[in-house]
Structure formats: C-alpha cells, structure tokens
Amino acid sequence: MELWQQQLKASLTTPAQLAERFALDAAALEAVCARYPLRITPQYLDLIEEPGDAIWRQCVPDVRELHDDQAQVDPLNEDHLAPLSHAVHRYPDRVLLLVAGTCATYCRFCTRKRKVGCRGMEVSFGEVMAGIEYVARTPSVRDVILSGGEPLLMSDLLLKEILERLRRIPHVEIIRIGTRAPVVLSARITPSLCALLRQCHPLFVNTHFNHPRELTPEAMEACLRLADAGVPVGNQTVLLRGVNDDAATLEELFRALLKLRVRPYYLHHMDLVRGTGHFRTRLETGLEIMAALRGTLSGLAIPHYVVDLPGGRGKVPIVPESVEKLGDVAVLRAPRGERVEFPQYLCSDNPSA
C-alpha cells in the first residue's frame, strides 16, 4: 500500500472516535452522520488546534446541518442537467464528469452533500466510461472537468486509463482535475502521479484551500510538485462564515498561494444547499472583501467572486461597483473610493465622432 492509501485508511470516520479525541457528545453527532458522512484524514485532523476553529468547522459534523430545511438539496439542478447519471453538461463547450463518489475528508459545506460519500453513490468504471463516450460523441465539448467526489482517490492506473481515453478524443482540448487532495491528503501528489499528469497536457488542476492554516509544509510541497510538472494549478475557495469571511484571512491565503504558483481562480459564494445554512454569508460580505482586496493585493492573486445561480443557470461574477456613470465623460471609482473621470470622447467608436 502506498503512504497516501495508509493515511486514508487511518482516517477518522465515526462520532465515537471524535468524542474520544475531543470532549463531545457523540450521540448528537450520530444523527448528523446518519444523513451526511464523516471522514477526516489524519493530516487534516492534526491541523485542528481547538474545537470551533477554522479547520474544525470545515470537517466536524454540526447539528445545525440537520436544521436548515429551507434550502434545496440540489439547487444547481445538476441532477436534471445531467445527460447521464455522472456527467453535468451545462455549458456547450464544457462537461463536468463526476468520476468519484467519495472524498478523503468530507467538507461539511459541500455543494454535493446530497451525494458524496452516501451509500450507493460510488461511481463504477462503467459509469465513468459512459461519461467519456458521451464526450466522444459530443463534438462541442472542448474542456472536460474531472470532479466528484475526489478524483484522486482512484489509483494511478485507473486515472491513466481515463486520461488516455479522453486524450484520444480529437475535440477535447483541455482536461481539468478538481481535487482537495493537496490540502487533506498531500501524500497523494506523488512523483509518479505528477509524471502521469505531465503526459496528458494541456492539463490543469484546481485545488481547494480555504484558510491559510491549511498551507502546511506538506501541502505546499504537493502544490510545488504539481507546478514543477508543468501543471497550471488554480485554487477555488468557498466563502465560509466563521472560517474565512474576512479580508485579512483571504488576503493572507491568496498571497501565500500565489507564492506557490497557485493562482486564485474562484471565490465561490456558498450555494443554497440544504444543511449548509450556518456557513452562508450575504453577498454584501463577499463584495466588501473583494473591494478591500483590490487595493492591497496583486491582481494575479485576486480570484473572481462567483455565484452559481440557482436552477443551474450558470456561474456569474459579482463585482464591487466601479462604474458610476457612462457617457462622454464616464465616472469610475478608484480602489480607495475616489471618483475619477474617464474621457470617452477620445474613443474612436464614439457615436458622436
């Protein structure tokens, strides 16, 4: 067994184990875990400094997950946009393949909480192959995203098979892998995995750091190994109440990621998923953070703040207001708030010219 497989096997999976480690009421958590699964890798568990901290909130079940019943189970309508059970085809050129049904650590705020880790949600080889065949017969698809679940819980051998099949499809231009392994199971990013990925270029990895404390030496090494294999690494952060909903925390995170050559790609507003209400912030919170980052952080380190619209209508970027007035002399707002005139009568597509 490889080191990462041993670590995965040593993960914490029951409320009793949690109760043993921290002073907790295991019985209350049993009810949560009966609906939403629990798994925390040793690496992520060791990052918890005290109950209630930013790491704890992301991975330890909370009774509030059972309270939030107004939101929907599948607000992005993924189950109905799916041409097959394990492919989501929302944009003409991009297909998201759900190639894994389990994760190394279950994030309590997960958008696919209804599915990942639940019994009967494992993805079979046949289902993955059906997804690849769908891509093969749909020429508008240029970009295939391997998602899940955690795609990197599969063996190198299986991953190689999937990647090679995708690479043989002429219209597939780029492949992306969405993974939280660098954060919660860094040992998964082995030299042999990196060697495999570098044979499948252009291949992009999007990882998922939410807090600067997740940037441990092993997590940072995992990112650097990917970057050194020529893999452009992006990061998708979820804006989480009580975890990272302030500008200073996100500024530190994005700055540190950029130094690792990991480019902050998206800051996701929380989806309206049932069982995650205690993580949800208002849009105003995200907008204030984005406005603060704009003045203090390199543009390379600033992600797009996006909302995935309910009903599967797609992601839209949300930006702080910077256009105050258009017209011959437009008025724009600078990062610090002052109003600056922008003389549009100098533009050559000016209708009055």
Active site members: 90-91, 94, 103, 107, 110, 112, 271, 308, 315
What is the number of other CB atoms lying within 10 angstroms of the CB of residue 78?
19
List, in order, residues 6 or more apart from 25 with CB less than 8 Å away.
19
Identity of the residue, 86 or 112, whose beta carbon is nearer to ligand SF4 in the bound complex: 112
In the chain, alpha helices (H)? 3-9, 15-21, 26-35, 42-45, 54-59, 78-81, 125-136, 156-167, 181-184, 191-198, 217-228, 247-259, 283-296
Residue 118 annotated as binding?
Answer: no
Point out which residues bind ligand PLP (CB under 6 A). 88, 90-91, 94, 96, 145, 315
Residue 107 annotated as binding?
Answer: yes
Check binding of 234 to ligand SF4 (CB under 6 A).
no
Residue 103 annotated as binding?
Answer: yes
As given in the structure block, the two tokens for residue 329 are 């002399």
Instruction: Considering only residues 173 through 192, tell me which ones interact with ligand SF4, judged by CB under 6 A.
Output: 180
As given in the structure block, the two tokens for residue 114 are 């209804």
Q: Of residues 149, 151, 234, 303, which one binds ligand SF4 by CB under 6 A?
A: 149
Identity of the residue, 258 or 307, whose beta carbon is nearer to ligand PLP in the bound complex: 307
From the list 7-15, 103-111, 121-129, 245-253, the region that binds ligand SF4 by CB under 6 A is 103-111
Cα dihedral across residues 162, 163, 167, 169: positive or negative: positive
Identity of the residue, 99 or 290, whose beta carbon is nearer to ligand SF4 in the bound complex: 99
Which H helix or E strand runs over 238? strand 233-238
Q: Least CB distance from residue 178 to ligand SF4, whole Å?
A: 7
Q: Beta-strand (E) ranges in 34-173?
A: 87-91, 94-98, 143-147
Give the integer Cα–Cα distance in Å for 201 and 176: 10
Identity of the residue, 116 or 132, whose beta carbon is nearer to ligand SF4 in the bound complex: 116
Which residues in this chain contact ligand SF4 in the complex, by CB under 6 A?
A: 103, 106-107, 110, 112, 116, 148-150, 180
Annotated binding site: 103, 107, 110
